[in-house]
């Protein structure tokens, strides 16, 4: 995928990195493992996994782990995220971002441009814009 430095990061590479995160996914309660790889406009990649909690609600999704890692070191501009997930880490279906994660994406991403890659393997994926997954979303522009 294109970026500022013109170094191409392939979709396959993003998928590979997202799948690689499944090993770190902490899911003693659901067993549903999710991995994410977030690509900045500058071409850097931040990965994330879901991290569950005995109190349940503090659970952090893989997508938000990746976003918060990136934003916490100064990143603000993103071009794409790859998300993979499945029970026990077996990728049978696409794992689409939950509503909370879509809202976090809305904070930092242009909904018409930001791409969400859902994959079950490096060969099997579909790409959606944030606009498609969060139509008429509420974002920073609404408060400007």
**Residue ranges in contact with ligand THU by CB under 6 A:** 27, 30, 32, 34, 50, 52, 59, 61-63, 97-98, 101
Nearer to ligand THU, 2 or 100 (CB): 100
Give the Cα separation of 38 and 46 in Å (integer): 5
Q: How far is the CB of 22 from ligand THU (least distance, A)?
A: 11
Q: How far is the CB of 121 from ligand THU (least distance, A)?
A: 18
The single residue of 63, 107, 126, 132 carrying the catalytic annotation is 63
Based on the residue annotation, tell me whether 13 is a catalytic residue of this protein. no
Q: How far is the CB of 5 from ligand THU (least distance, A)?
A: 29
Q: What is the DSSP string of 75-139?
A: ---EEEEEEEEEETT---S--PPPHHHHHHHHHHS-TTT-EEEEESSSS-EEEEEHHHHSTT---
Which sequence positions are flagged as catalytic?
63
């Amino acid at each position: 995928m294109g970026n500022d430095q013109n170094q191409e990061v392939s979709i396959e590479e993003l998928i590979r990195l997202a799948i690689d995160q499944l090993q770190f996914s902490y899911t003693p309660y659901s067993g549903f493992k999710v991995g994410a790889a977030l690509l900045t406009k500058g071409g850097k990649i931040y990965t994330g996994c879901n991290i569950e909690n005995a109190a349940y609600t503090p659970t952090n999704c893989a997508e938000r782990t990746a976003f918060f890692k990136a934003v916490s070191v100064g990143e603000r501009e993103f071009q794409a995220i790859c998300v993979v997930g499945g029970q026990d880490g077996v990728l049978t279906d696409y794992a689409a971002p939950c509503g909370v994660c879509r809202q976090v994406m809305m904070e930092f991403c242009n909904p018409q441009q930001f791409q969400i890659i859902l994959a079950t393997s490096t060969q099997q994926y579909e790409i959606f814009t944030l606009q498609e997954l969060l139509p008429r979303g509420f974002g920073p522009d609404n408060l400007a």
